[in-house]
Structure 1
Amino acid sequence: MSEEHNYEPSNEALEPIRQRISVNVGNYLQHGDDVYKITQVLDYDSAIGINVATGRSSQLRIKELRPANNAGEESDHTYQDLEEIADSDWAEAEKRYSAIKPLVNELSPGRAVVAERAKEVGVGIATLYRWLNRFKSMGVVSALIPQQRGWKAGKGRISGLTERVIQEVIDDVYLTPQRPTDQTVVLEVKRRCHERGLKAPSATAVRSRLAKIPERIRMRKRGYREKARNQFQATPGRFPNADYPLAYIQIDHTQVDIILVDDDLRLPAGRPWITLAIDVFSRMVTGYYLSYDPPSTTSVAMCMAHSILPKDDWLTLHGVEADWPVYGVPSTVHVDNGADFRSETFRKSCQMYGINLEYRPVRAPRYGGHIERLLGNFMKKVHELPGTTFSSVPERDEYDSEKHATMTRSEFEKWLVTLITRYYHNDRHSGLGIPPIKQWEIGIFGDKFTPGIGIPPQPGDKTTLLLNFLPAFRRTVQSFGVTVEGMHYYDEALRPWINAKDPDNSKRKRQLVFRRDPRDISYLWFFDPDLKQYFKIPFANLSLPPMSVWELRQAKEKLKAEGKTSYNEHLVLEAITDLRNQVDDAKHRTKKARRQAQRRKEHERKISPAEPIPSEAPKSAVNESWDDDLLDDSAEIRGFGDIS
């Protein structure tokens, strides 16, 4: 255990908040210091709520609402960092989530349905209700971690002969074009068991076996062959089970077919990478990440955070007047088999928010058709811009991409946001027959044919969400602080944990959880397991400049090449200064140096989906000589960072 926290932290603490802000009629949410009961949702931006203390109705801005304080109702594990949760506790939480998963999307599951599910998973009805309420109140799987260890669920068993009777009745009676009811099957099972002198199973047990029949087999055997073929046979432009907004999102990366110029000299800096996410149901773009850095776990983290968070401030950042009403936690994320999507941090973060992570079958690109078609269509638009590289050498022919390159990354990003929000979202989609924005609105609010799912819940805290997807690691705290890749970090928040002992083994030092953004490693995020809060831990040497993890590793490679087998922060600082000077001197000569300088500049801006608008956002000039219908030259292009 750590010593008592009787010190005053030197920087502001961040308490992780993982509840979702669900703006549905009847829910309780907090606005300022008051709690309101939502009575009506007006649109994407506002709702009517009754103040529970005064009884007065007020119009509330949805972006200003936050979860009502339910202290005491949720698990303490909800406020822990993911890496602090024991494997056994996490396994138990996943097991409980699997038990309630079929009921999670039900607005108000009836007792009969809950009782049936409780019987299937072998727990009491009250227990299942408690798990369901706990998950819905918090929206994260960690809410299901047991407060006390040792619980084991019992399961009832039916004899093998009885199971055989049930299967016979299913094959002979249920799976036939006559389509008998479940009750008919129950009675027939009882009749055959009576004939054979067997104890008949309960109606619930029989119905649970019926529920496990794959829907495709059920429909085909019961005379719905054509319907089964249409519903379950994958066809171009259709994705099975993507029946509502955020049921499935697909994510993929590609290098953009354009040469951009740097901000200072407006000389070619290279091609950026984009990570893009699409909602399969509506074809709306849920989020993206644009960077000169190759795809990585950071790309995935930033794209996921951008997808889940509201985008009003993001539109303001880029000076684009448009609506982008897409946010919320997806049910399933569909990705390829790249290492960046298979990281343990990404997998566990998705599990925390109840997101099902699905991977495409190997060597089956058709399973990612929606996102790949969208990226392909976007590249066709990019091919109309100055500096495009087109998609192949023959297509480029004699076009000199570097000579014609005119757009900076900020200008291209504003063009991209405009393309997404004002053109793509509002243009008729050939696969849907209507614009994506219209399909999204139908999915949210419904129409005379389709019930809507309602406005998706928002994350209760933006920074917590982003931190959950950033890389995590463990370190012990020494008297001088913490060391990561040879760099020392210290803050008063670490003092109680200096040489702290492992609570399970007093002979070992305690490993504590830290997270960092690889684009700026001048500070770490430290999770205090006693206070259950995050603290920023800066470089112990405050004279060190902000740097990315890539710059640090370049500096180490330089020192190694110079024959220095060991190094310290002074040598690293000298190496980084020398590398930056070389880049600055070479900017006039080489594209690689300009790209590296631009990467550093963008990392230093420290923009993220959680904080898109800094207190003093830097500005970049607009290239007024470039004109395009998708770029409004009258709007100011403001500074931006390494994520969009």
Structure 2
Amino acid sequence: MKLAPAASHSDEAWSTARRAARELDKILEGSGSRRAAIVRAAAELCLSTRQVYNLLARYRVDRTVTSLLPGGDRTRKKRLQPEIEEIIATTLREQWLVLEAPPLAPVVAEIRARCEEAGLSPPSYLTVARRIPALFGPEEIAKKRSANLKHLHRLRARPGYIHAAHPLDVCQIDHTPTDINFVEVVEGGGTFVGRAYLTIVTDVATRCILGFCLTLEKPSALSVALCLAQALCPKDEWLVAHGIEHGWPMFGRPRLLVTDSAKEFKGNAFQRGCEDYGIRIRYRDRGRVHQGGVVERLLGKLNGVLATQPGSTGRSVADRDQYPAERRAGLSFADLEQCVALAVIDHNLQQNARTLRVPASEWDRQTHELVRFDDDPMRVLLAFMPGTERRIPALDDRGRGWP
């Protein structure tokens, strides 16, 4: 008996399959060019055209969403005899799944020799390679073939993933240098200045970006304060000052702010500012770096957008391939800041590939009951800035300070 989709697959897998079914219906029912429709569906589903063709072949048989689920109801028959399957499994376990971690080719030669000795048709190298993930799980392979315990640790589930039920329940803040898919910055007649640093604050529940700060200096208490001042306050005046006509209504005080262990997040100024505005701090120290996945993915997404501009440094020296990034740089700092702002606003209006939801729509739907504070950007900035107390010396009758 076939199980119901909800009983054997997650809601996310079902939503992905349902979205693919809608796109495939447009292909099958459309009257235009089939090739153009497949290219458009591939772009909408973030797949290759070959993957769309494969999905279409499965879907056109009975036109059900279930046929598009991972695994689906497909039952591929094994074309090898049971005796050959037994020889493959036994030989792989004896000679390949060992701590010495030998290459696969000599093991395949042994399998073929054993099959020929038994009077069976020897399998190909590709056939044996395809049997490995079916016979052994990733954890078993890492445990038996590797002496490095970190390989097994990376495969195990790590507790503590950051979840948030409502907007502003959990926010994340992080930086990225511009040497990761970023553009070089020029000022005043094409004089090379250097690379900028980007800091953003993102909301985990809605995946909205609440604020950003672009600086030419390395991340510091100042860049954190500027970023939080933009995230906590309305941005209407800022958008007008930068010549941006699009809306950016996301702002508010986070209840929990997740950061890494950088020194700018460990200072007294940052901790005092968070206490002043009722923000709890959670550090993702060693062993919990995966808890910053949301903000790190969004930083990578913004870098990918900015990498299309002239002067991109590439992901690495090899990726740049002697591209003259400094000579090709053509954006001023103001242009770069405006480009980042437009990329942030565009992200808030795009459907998230993982949640299949639009961040701006989720924000509008869930923020009606949020408490709004009339925070002033300058006051927020000063609250997160470091400061020191100094004593003014007393003056005598002649206006001179006492010793």
**Quick check: 2:230–2:377 contact (8 Å CA) kept in 1?**
no
Q: Does 1:470 align with 2:385?
A: yes
Q: Aligned-pair distance for 1:339? A: 0.7
Contact 1:459 1:465 in 2 (8 A): no
2:176 aligned partner: 254
Q: Could you give the per-residue CA deviations for residues 276-297 of structure 1, whole angstroms, max 9, x where no partner exists?
A: 1101111111111111011111
TM-score (norm 2): 0.56
TM-score by length of 1: 0.36
Task: Show structure 1 runs of 5+ residues with no match.
Answer: 1-232, 446-452, 481-494, 500-508, 510-644
Say if 1:274 and 1:290, in contact at 8 Å, map to a contact too: yes
Q: CA deviation at 1:235?
A: 8.3
Alignment of 1:5-20 (within 5 A): none
The answer for the alignment partner of 2:268 in structure 1 is 344
The match for 1:313 among 214, 237, 247 is 237
Q: Which residue of 2 is the match for residue 440 of structure 1?
A: 363
Letter in 2 for 1:314: W
Q: Is the 8 A contact 1:259 1:269 kept in 2?
A: no
Deviations 1:580-607 (A, max 9, x none): xxxxxxxxxxxxxxxxxxxxxxxxxxxx
Q: 1:458 aligns with which of 373, 376, 381?
A: 373
Question: What letter matches 1:254 in structure 2?
Answer: T
Which of residues 309, 313, 316 is equivalent to 1:389? 313
- What is the aligned counterpart of 2:227 among 279, 287, 303? 303
Q: Distance in 1 between matches of 2:210 and 2:260?
A: 18
- 3-state SS of 1:278 partner: strand
The separation in 2 between residues aligned to 1:460 and 1:297, in whole angstroms, is 19
2:246 is matched with 322
Deviations 1:448-469 (A, max 9, x none): xxxxx33x41234433222111
Taking structure 1 as reference, are residues 464 and 261 closer, same or farther at Cα in structure 2, changes over 3 Å only? closer
Q: Which residue of 1 aligns with 2:348?
A: 425
Match among 169, 178, 193 for residue 269 of structure 1 = 193
Describe the shift of the 1:338–1:321 C-alpha distance in structure 2 as closer, same or farther (beyond 3 A).
same
Distance 1:402 1:427, change over 3 A: same
In the aligned structure 1, how far is the partner of 2:349 from the partner of 2:267? Answer: 35
Structural mapping, 1:480-559, within 5 Å: none
SS state of the match for residue 229, structure 2? helix
Aligned counterpart for 2:282 among listed residues 355, 358, 365: 358
Structure 1 residue 402 and structure 2 residue 317: aligned?
no
Deviations 1:362-381 (A, max 9, x none): 14321110011111111111
Deviates more, 1:471-480 or 1:267-276: 471-480
Q: 1:283 to 1:469 in 2, by over 3 A?
A: same
Q: Distance in 2 between matches of 1:234 and 1:441?
A: 32
The answer as to whether partners of 1:259 and 1:402 remain within 8 angstroms in 2 is no
Given that residues 208 and 363 in structure 2 are in contact (C-alpha distance below 8 angstroms), is that contact kept between their aligned partners in structure 1?
yes
**1:239 partnered with 2:162:** yes
> Residue 391 of structure 1 aligns to a residue in which SS?
coil
Output the CA distance in 2 between the equivalents of 1:244 and 1:396: 41
Given residue 331 of structure 1, which amino acid in structure 2 is its aligned partner?
Answer: R
Distance in 2, matches of 1:410 and 1:460, equals 26
| Alpha-carbon shift at residue 410 of structure 1 (Å) | 0.5
Change (3 A) 1:259 1:444: closer
Pick the structure with more helix per residue.
2
Q: Is the 8 A contact 1:327 1:458 kept in 2?
A: no
- Structure 2: how far apart are the matches of 1:340 and 1:364? 19
Cα deviation digits, residues 576-634 of structure 1 (max 9, x gap): xxxxxxxxxxxxxxxxxxxxxxxxxxxxxxxxxxxxxxxxxxxxxxxxxxxxxxxxxxx
Residue 234 of structure 1, CA deviation: 6.9
Q: State the partner residue of 2:112.
A: none
User: Is 1:332–1:356's contact at 8 Å kept on the other side of the alignment?
Assistant: yes
| CA displacement at 1:398 relative to structure 2 | 2.8
2:258 paired with 1:334: yes
**Deviation of 1:403 (Å):** 1.9
Taking the aligned partners of 1:439 and 1:292, their CA distance within structure 2 comes to: 33
Counting matched residue pairs gives 241
The letter for the 2-side match of 1:457 is R
Q: Runs in 1 of length 4+ with deviation above 4 angstroms?
A: 233-236
Q: Secondary structure at the match of 2:351?
A: coil
Find the residue that maps to 1:286 and give its secondary structure.
strand
- C-alpha contact 1:248 1:281 (8 A) present in aligned 2: yes
Does the CA-based 8 Å contact 1:334-1:358 persist in structure 2? yes
Instruction: Provide closer, same or farther for how the CA distance between residues 437 and 418 of structure 1 changes in structure 2, counting only shifts above 3 A.
Output: same
Given residue 365 of structure 2, which amino acid in structure 1 is its aligned partner?
I
Q: What amino acid sits opposite 2:234 in the alignment?
A: P
Q: Distance in 2 between matches of 1:462 and 1:345?
A: 16
Of all paired residues, the percent bearing the same amino acid is 29
Trace 1:56-205 onto structure 2 (pairs within 5 A): none
**For residue 372 of structure 2, what is the amino acid of its counterpart?**
P
Question: 358-367 vs 271-280, which deviates more?
Answer: 358-367
Shift of 1:407: 0.5
